[in-house]
Structures are given as structure tokens and as C-alpha cells.
Amino acid sequence: MKIVYYKSAVCPRCIPTNRFLKRLKREHPEVEIEEVEVLTHIGRARKAGIMSIPVIEMGGRRYHGVPPREDVLRFLSGEVERDG
């Protein structure tokens, strides 16, 4: 199961999302987290339609910031479409 995380090192709104993903990875090491730094991958972010950050793509859905707990639990349990 894979999560794609669009972020920037200079984004203050990314700090809580970074913490959430680090905790998620510690608790669920099977989750693959791909981090996309938008400042160095502008073309990819544009192609994906990223207009603001932070953005998490998970289970076929897109979230601005930390996703709701219920959605994370459904993703981890396999109840939703998983990428990767």
C-alpha cells in the first residue's frame, strides 16, 4: 500500500502532516510513503493537478493535510482502493 505526499521543505503547513506520516510509518512499516518535493518536481506536481500543499494521495483519494482518522483506518484495513 502506497501514499504519495506532495510537500515542500519551506511549507509551515507541512509540519503537522510530516509528523503524522512519520508516526504512521512507525506504526505501520508496511506502508510505502513517496514524498514529492514540489520545488524540485514542479512538472510532476503540475501534471498531478497539485495547486496547494500539503497533499496526501491515499486509497484513490486526495487530502489537503492530515486525512481523517476513519479514512486512514479504512485505507490500512484494505476497505478502500489502494495505490501501489
pLDDT digits (tens, 9 = 90+) for 2-25: 999 999 999 999 999 999 999 999
| Total H helices, total E strands in the chain | 3, 4
- Residue 42: phi and psi, rounded to 5, are -60, -45
What domains does the chain contain, in order, with CATH numbers? 2-77 (3.40.30.10)
- Please tell me the pTM assigned to this model: 0.88
Question: Can you list the positions of beta strands (E) in the chain?
Answer: 2-7, 32-37, 55-58, 61-64
Asked whether the predicted pLDDT for residue 68 surpasses 70, the reply is yes
3-state secondary structure of 24: helix
The pairing of beta strand 32-37 with beta strand 61-64: unpaired
% pLDDT > 90, the chain = 85
